[in-house]
């Protein structure tokens, strides 16, 4: 019988995979391996952080404060004080990583972050507006996508957003499919580069893995996970399943590490 990890791998490759279900099962695996700190980070990245204060430094983005003019549209503001400008224009993004990717793919002209009524009142006084104005922080999609670059996942399961009836997102303006497809291709290409860069650092090193099952379509090989969750394939047999083994990594193949059991 396949282990929960093998089942997860099969589900990921299915054309009808449920992303939410996959993420929940991945969380279960991390819990089973007892990787508490790593699992906490995974949970925050997949589900979102509680607030901006708990977000890591790499989730900081910078935008441009703009005011909405009914005749000219959004126009940039001028903030004379540099320290105040940083306080207003820099913010940390607590959204889940999947939500960030979806927002970037669907926000053709960048993202708009609204302010509270109290903050809008403060801006009106600061700019001495004769009439109440609407202010918002405009953030480029590239700036937010940089979070994905900084997180540097060893792998990422990405998908093109499709409309789900009854959701708020379905009521929002949708961009052409061709643009979505182009963006996800660029994202996957960069993620593959990052995966290869990270994987090369494993070659020549020895890691302890938990052998979880036999590798499908490759007789005489077992698969297991390192403490950080990386998938490793090595020669072995069924008697090793459930045991911890030291493995020297000899090569990489896509997101998988290849090794020899010592």
Going from the C-alpha of 32 to that of each of 4, 28, 154, the distances in angstroms are: 10, 6, 20
pTM: 0.45
Q: Is-contact 172 106, C-beta < 8 A?
A: yes
Alpha carbon distance 9, 28 (integer Å)? 14
Tokens 């992303």 correspond to 19
Alpha carbon distance 74, 71 (integer Å)? 9
Alpha carbon distance 80, 100 (integer Å)? 31
104-130 confidence digits (pLDDT tens): 666 556 678 888 888 888 888 888 888
Mean pLDDT of 198-219: 84
70-98 confidence digits (pLDDT tens): 888 888 988 888 888 888 888 888 888 77
- Which of 214, 240, 224, 101 has the alpha carbon at shortest distance from 160? 101
């Amino acid at each position: 019988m396949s282990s929960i990890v093998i089942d997860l791998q099969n589900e990921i490759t299915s054309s009808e995979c449920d992303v939410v279900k996959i993420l929940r099962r991945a969380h279960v695996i991390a819990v089973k391996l007892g990787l508490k700190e790593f699992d906490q980070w995974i949970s925050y990245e997949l589900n979102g952080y509680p607030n901006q204060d708990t977000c890591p430094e790499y989730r900081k983005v910078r935008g441009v404060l703009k005011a909405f003019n009914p005749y000219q549209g959004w126009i940039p503001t001028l903030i004379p004080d540099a320290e105040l400008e940083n306080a207003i224009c820099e913010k940390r993004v607590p959204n889940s990583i999947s939500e960030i990717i979806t927002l970037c793919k669907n926000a053709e002209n960048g993202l708009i972050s609204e302010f509270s009524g109290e903050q809008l009142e403060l801006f009106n006084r600061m700019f001495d507006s004769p009439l109440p104005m609407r202010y918002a922080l405009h953030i480029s999609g590239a700036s937010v996508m940089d979070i994905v670059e900084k997180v540097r996942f060893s792998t990422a399961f990405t998908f093109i957003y499709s409309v789900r009836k009854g959701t708020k997102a379905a009521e929002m303006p949708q961009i052409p499919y061709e643009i979505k497809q182009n963006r996800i291709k660029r994202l996957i290409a960069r993620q593959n580069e990052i995966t290869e860069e990270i994987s090369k650092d494993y070659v020549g090193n020895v890691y302890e893995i938990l052998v979880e099952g036999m590798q499908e379509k490759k007789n005489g090989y077992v698969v297991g996970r390192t403490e950080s969750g990386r998938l490793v394939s090595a020669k072995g047999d069924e008697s090793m399943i459930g045991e911890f083994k030291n493995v020297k990594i000899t090569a990489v193949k896509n997101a998988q590490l290849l090794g020899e059991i010592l």
